[in-house]
Amino acid sequence: MTAAALAQNPPKPILQLVGVRKTFGDFAAVERIDLDIRDGEFLTIVGPSGSGKTTLLRMLAGMEAPSDGEISLKGIRINDMPPSQRPTCLVFQSLALFPHKTVGENIEFPLKVKGVAPAARKQRALELLRLVRLPETHYGKNVMKCSGGERQRVALARALAYDPEVLFFDEPLSALDYKLRKVMEKELKDLHRESGKTFIYITHSLEEAMVMSDRIGVMQSGRLVQVGTPEEIYTRPSTKFVSEFMGEVNVFDAAHENGVWRIDGVEGPANLALPTAMTSAQKAAVVVRPEFMRFVDAPGGADNCLKGVVFNQYSLGSRIQYQVRVAEKTFLLELSRANARKAEGDEALIGWDARDAIVVEA
């Protein structure tokens, strides 16, 4: 199907959330979430700790019951269906591998539950070992003697052995070191494509979400503030929170006075140039990514120019990051080494173009 056809006729939702809420006493961990999860997609829910993403996942997996609202799977309400009855499977943050069982016995567990004969179980386990790129010799290995990456793969194989419609992931990669995590992220994406199943992943790392997901949902204090493709989330964050969650960005409040936009707390530019003409609003938050900011030689070198002092510079390897102080505000610039021609303490004129700024809800 082409992208246009997809937009016209989106795949049917496999999971549907309508007004889902979860309260613990007076505290609302999840606040009225409406979300359609499409069959076969890789959806990642990101949010800082305490944003309710784990609670949301546990409701989807059946380990918590929603206080309100409705969760349906393929059109059937599953609010009160216990996890053992749901055709879904969760890969835990701790992985929850059975320590007294071998790799093979772990993978075969869901098949043993279903009463599959031992020979058929073993055959399937070996297939799954291949699928998750583990050697067949690991079949009889003690699961506690496996390395971190191997355990991830065993947990994944065990979940796939259950043959669920939807797989949930509760930050299973968080315990791995950076390099291995990068490898596993890509493998998980490959596995998603190969298995054709719906993957729902939660993490606090937007970077991780960007790499793997078809769509990302950003959560903030129990609410789903934006859902979109990684591209949309990156280029068109809907709120200040989402843009800040994306990594280090320049965010400042702007006010509309006498037909001119000004940055709060900063003298000039005389009229802040925004990407879209905004005449109705009185206040807005403006987001400019550090890589879209640059040093300019003279006023007018960019749509918006500000005068400040360089007070910190950090090497990021191929790029250099500057902190430039303008009045009381600090701006971040990220430049390639070729354009990095300022030192700490230098006066600097920084600028950005209107089209590179994003206006979000204040």
Partner 1 sequence: MNQSVRRSNAFIWTWTIFVLVLVYLPIACGALAGLSKSRYFGFPVAAWSTDWWSRAIDSFEVQQIVKTSVAIALIVTVVAVIVAFFGALAFARYDWKGRRLYQKLVLLPIFFPQPVLGLALLLWMNAVGIQPTWQTAIFAHLVWIVPVVTLVIAIQVYGFDPTLEEAAADLGAGRLFVLREITLPILWPGVWSGALFAFLLSWGNFPLSLYTTGADSTVPEWLYAKMVAGYTPMVPAIGTMSTLAAATLLLTGGLILALLRWRAGKVAA
Comparing CA positions, the residue from 159, 231, 148 lying closest to residue 184 is: 148
In the complex with partner 1, which residue's Cβ is closer, 139 or 230? 139
Q: Give the one residue of 16, 44, 51, 102 binding partner 1; rule: CB under 8 A.
A: 102
- For residue 31 the two structure tokens come to 């606040």
Tell me the closest approach of the beta carbon of residue 239 to partner 1, in angstroms: 34
> Could you say whether residue 117 binds partner 1 (CB under 8 A)?
no
Tell me the closest approach of the beta carbon of residue 262 to partner 1, in angstroms: 53
> Could you say whether residue 96 binds partner 1 (CB under 8 A)?
yes
CA distance 270 to 308: 16
- For residue 309 the two structure tokens come to 């002092």
> Could you say whether residue 140 binds partner 1 (CB under 8 A)?
yes
Comparing CA positions, the residue from 305, 341, 303 lying closest to residue 322 is: 341
> Could you say whether residue 114 binds partner 1 (CB under 8 A)?
yes
Helix (H) or strand (E) holding 240: helix 240-245
Q: Give the one residue of 37, 59, 109, 250 binding partner 1; rule: CB under 8 A.
A: 109
Tell me the closest approach of the beta carbon of residue 21 to partner 1, in angstroms: 22
In the complex with partner 1, which residue's Cβ is closer, 150 or 303? 150
- For residue 251 the two structure tokens come to 């965010």
Tell me the closest approach of the beta carbon of residue 57 to partner 1, in angstroms: 12
Bridge partners for 320 per DSSP: 315, 335
Q: Give the one residue of 94, 235, 282, 312 binding partner 1; rule: CB under 8 A.
A: 94
- Sheet containing strand 283-288, edge to edge, reads 260-263, 250-257, 283-288, 357-360
Q: Give the one residue of 49, 84, 279, 280 binding partner 1; rule: CB under 8 A.
A: 84
Name the phi and psi angles at 175, rounded to 5. -85, -5
Prior bond of 269 cis (ω within 30°): yes
List the interface residues with partner 1, window 148-167 (CB under 8 A). Answer: 158-159, 162
- For residue 52 the two structure tokens come to 């309710």
Question: Which residues contact partner 1 by CB under 8 A?
Answer: 61-63, 82-84, 88-90, 92, 94, 96, 98-100, 102, 109-110, 112-114, 137-142, 144-145, 158-159, 162
